[in-house]
Copies of this chain bind each other. A is one copy, B any other.
Amino acid sequence: MRVFKVVLCYDGTDFAGWQRQSNARSVQADLEDALAPIEGRAVTVAGAGRTDSGVHALGQVASFRLTNPIGARELHQALNATLPEDVRVLNVEEAPSGFNARFSALSKVYRYRISNSRVMSPFQRRYAWHIPRSLDLAEMKKAAQALLGEHDFAALQAKGGKVRTSVRTVTRSDWSEEPLPGGGRLLVYEIAGNGFLKYMVRNIIGTLVEVGDGRRPAASISDMLASRNRQTAGPTAPPSGLYLVRVDYDAAAPVSFS
């Protein structure tokens, strides 16, 4: 059996998330359902990041095994011909036999978009969090810096997380801004790290927005992390602003055939 690595882009609006669920639409199920007729039997897909309901992806990575001798290019076309328009396969390649999109991942990049404008553009309503009030971006940038490095992120983890350790390393955490065509500005947060806890990015955003609102000093982030207490962090930001941008693997490992 050969292992395939696929890169996916999806508009998460109409999905209950990545993971297959019994009574709701998921990206994993759509992909598995598109693969089953190709393979002639059920195929199980592993996803690098289990994005939550309403969260988008620009570069989700999934892997699966096939006995069908189909080529990467043909498989790419067949999947895009079958999948609904809100999920697209951007790349297909054969991977080494031990490759697993989830367990082989070395780091991920997430992006969060805030429409900081008086009126929310109809074109942004599914793709950003609307915050009409003024935000102190300079303070939000300072607070974002405090997340860099290895920390126990227990304070920013959803309750009920089942991971062995909540220690993660963040290698990038910064804000940028760009003007919006209809007025106001788009605030864009990017975070890279070796792993992310459930709701971690959305809890970071909820906390950094409290800093931007002047309700929490930027210097308080270190104490918040040290507390390991979810109560000390801000609320969970809405899913519509969040994007899984990229998943990185050992560059030497995957073998590209596409």
Q: Using CB atoms and an 8 Å cutoff, list the residues of chain A in contact with chain B.
A: 9-11, 56, 58, 80, 85-90, 119-123, 125, 127, 181-183
Q: Given B85, B87, B122, B182, which contacts A85 in the complex, CB threshold below 8 Å?
A: B122
Nearest CB to that of A245 among chain B residues? Answer: B181
* One of B86, B119, B182 near A80 (C-beta < 8 A): B119
A-B contact pairs, 9 of them (CB 8 A): A9-B119, A9-B121, A9-B122, A11-B122, A11-B123, A58-B182, A86-B125, A88-B122, A123-B127
Instruction: Note all chain B residues with C-beta closer than 8 A to A120.
Output: 85, 88
Distance of A119 Cα from B58 Cα, bound (Å): 13
* A58 pairs with B88, CB closer than 8 A: no
Bound: A228/B37 CA distance, A: 51
Q: How far is the CA of A238 from the CA of B90 in the complex (A)?
A: 24
Chain B residues, CB < 8 A from A88: 119-122
A122: contacting residue among B86, B121, B122, B123, CB under 8 A = B86
Judge whether A90 and B182 touch: CB under 8 Å: yes
Q: Which residue of B lies closest to A85 (CB)?
A: B125
In the complex formed, the residue of B with least CB distance to A13 is: B122
